[in-house]
Amino acid sequence: MKNTLLITQDFPPVKGGVSTSLWNFFSYFPKKGSFVLTSESIMKFNESPNIVRKKLFFSTGYFWPKWLPSFFHTLKFVKRYKIDLIQVGQILPFGTICLILRKFIAVNFITFVYGQDLLINTGRWFKMYLIKKILQKSKYIVANSNFTKQIVVSLGVDKEKIIVAYPCPKLQNTNIDSNNLKNFKNNHNLVNKRVVLTVGNLVKRKGHQSVISLLPRLIKKFPNLIYLIVGDGPEKRNIENTIKLLKLEKNVCLLGRVSDELLPLIYTVSNFFIMPIKNIKNIYGNTIDAEGFGLVFLEAALYGKTSLSTISGGVGEAIINGKTGILVNQNNTNELYSAMLYLLQNQEKCTTLGLNAKKRLFNEFNPMVQSNKILAISK
């Protein structure tokens, strides 16, 4: 394998699907000749000498472009370590940096794409021009799903140079200490409760409000129902207001961002995972935000939990409807209600779907297998 440099602003300890995915891929790259250039962090993380942290952006608006420090750090790194191939973690701005670098030095690059990063720039002609240019000049493109691959193809890129490498959770031991689990249940009043769970940023696309709006009907049948929400984001206040309006303070628990040590306990206490994705459209009716894949569904599967979601983007690649989870149509509250009711009433079926999801996870979403796809194009 050539000397490679992954440049990314999303890397642990930063939370999120992209960060987790890139870290898992990097974990299987050869220790010799593989480097990461990423942002500074005040939080500690299990570092290695091959992970270099720098200030990648200007912190004020007085300087333009804000990514100029990234350009000089990358140029210096490429020359110092004789980098043959750059792995672009985010198409903008780091793909732009690679376009400029190629005018000065001979270096190839491959670009990771996730779906939302392409859709969100729909209608922004200059950014779309840059994106198309970056994709055309990329030696290869790594898409996180076939859904994302089709978006790239629609931009006029040769499909032969696009590979699909699925994001994967860390396949870790999921045995839980019984005392810790008992304490967690007691501390959060979850003993003898039915628990549904959502983990993700608090944004409209994740569909938290859709779940909350159905809780009053479900609580009439299951008074012990609790909805756990893990994450933070711009929709937090709106979610809190809805909880108060519907008087659901005793049935909805906003946990905020949680530690990696606490998350396994949260998955374990849940009956099933739910995240009814909603595609976000602009004023012209074009989709500008959709779920490119959904790593979190695989994280739930790791703990033997089935997932309930909607037909959106690459979700159908993460969940097999009727086998590892349930998919319903977007914005169809009756379908969503019926699916939630079905899983709450049929714990045996819920368990079977969760075990199927876990089995598929280990068979099809092994991080070593997915990383090898990237290694094959990095030679």
The CATH number of the domain holding residue 343 is: 3.40.50.2000
State the total domains in the chain.
2
Contact present, 275 and 204 (Cβ < 8 Å): no
Judgement on whether residues 143 and 12 belong to the same structural domain of the protein: yes
Residue 283 pLDDT level (bands cut at 50, 70, 90): confident
Residue 286 pLDDT level (bands cut at 50, 70, 90): confident
Q: Kindly state whether residue 173 falls inside one of the protein's structural domains.
A: no
Full-model pTM: 0.93
Judgement on whether residues 139 and 186 belong to the same structural domain of the protein: no
Q: Kindly state whether residue 369 falls inside one of the protein's structural domains.
A: no
Q: Kindly state whether residue 200 falls inside one of the protein's structural domains.
A: yes
Sheet holding 85-88, edge to edge: 51-54, 34-39, 4-8, 85-88, 108-113, 140-143, 162-164
Q: Kindly state whether residue 188 falls inside one of the protein's structural domains.
A: yes
Measure the CA–CA gap between 64 and 354, rounded to whole angstroms.
49
What integer best gives the mean pLDDT of the chain?
A: 94
Instruction: Give the domain-ending residue among 105, 130, 165.
Output: 165
pLDDT at 198 over 70: yes
pLDDT at 203 over 90: yes
Tokens 């009433």, located at residue: 345
Judgement on whether residues 182 and 223 belong to the same structural domain of the protein: yes
CA distances from 100 to 95, 116, 130 (A): 9, 24, 11
CA distances from 244 to 190, 222, 249, 251 (A): 20, 20, 6, 11
Q: How many residues are present in the chain?
A: 379
Q: Kindly state whether residue 377 falls inside one of the protein's structural domains.
A: no
The pLDDT value recorded for residue 68 is 95
Judgement on whether residues 161 and 182 belong to the same structural domain of the protein: no
What average pLDDT does the segment 255-271 reach?
94
At 281 the three-state DSSP class reads strand
Measure the CA–CA gap between 33 and 319, rounded to whole angstroms.
36
Judgement on whether residues 197 and 313 belong to the same structural domain of the protein: yes
95: containing domain = 4-165
- Neighbouring residues of 47: CB distance < 8 A, sequence distance ≥ 6: none
Residue 301 pLDDT level (bands cut at 50, 70, 90): very high
Percent of the chain with pLDDT over 90: 84
Judgement on whether residues 212 and 253 belong to the same structural domain of the protein: yes
Of the two residues 38 and 379, the one the predictor is more confident about is: 38
Measure the CA–CA gap between 143 and 69, rounded to whole angstroms.
27
Judgement on whether residues 72 and 147 belong to the same structural domain of the protein: yes
For residue 296 the two structure tokens come to 């979190």
Judgement on whether residues 265 and 324 belong to the same structural domain of the protein: yes
Measure the CA–CA gap between 238 and 49, rounded to whole angstroms.
43
Q: Kindly state whether residue 280 falls inside one of the protein's structural domains.
A: yes
pLDDT at 45 over 70: no
pLDDT at 178 over 70: yes
Measure the CA–CA gap between 93 and 118, rounded to whole angstroms.
12
Instruction: Give the domain-ending residue among 165, 192, 226.
Output: 165
Judgement on whether residues 126 and 220 belong to the same structural domain of the protein: no
Q: Kindly state whether residue 212 falls inside one of the protein's structural domains.
A: yes
Residue ranges of the alpha helices (H) in 110-232? 116-119, 125-137, 146-154, 178-187, 208-221
Measure the CA–CA gap between 330 and 313, rounded to whole angstroms.
11
For residue 112 the two structure tokens come to 């990771």
Residue 376 pLDDT level (bands cut at 50, 70, 90): very high
Judgement on whether residues 285 and 332 belong to the same structural domain of the protein: yes
CA distances from 65 to 60, 68, 201, 355 (A): 11, 6, 28, 49
The DSSP element (H or E) to which 299 belongs, if any, is helix 295-302
CA distances from 26 to 55, 75, 156 (A): 21, 21, 29
Residue 346 pLDDT level (bands cut at 50, 70, 90): very high
Q: Kindly state whether residue 170 falls inside one of the protein's structural domains.
A: no
Judgement on whether residues 196 and 155 belong to the same structural domain of the protein: no
Judgement on whether residues 184 and 122 belong to the same structural domain of the protein: no
- Neighbouring residues of 288: CB distance < 8 A, sequence distance ≥ 6: 119, 120, 122, 123, 280, 281, 282
Instruction: Give the domain-ending residue among 109, 136, 165.
Output: 165
Contact present, 178 and 193 (Cβ < 8 Å): no
Residue 44 pLDDT level (bands cut at 50, 70, 90): low
pLDDT at 197 over 90: yes
Measure the CA–CA gap between 316 and 322, rounded to whole angstroms.
11
For residue 335 the two structure tokens come to 């379908």
Percent of the chain with pLDDT over 70: 98
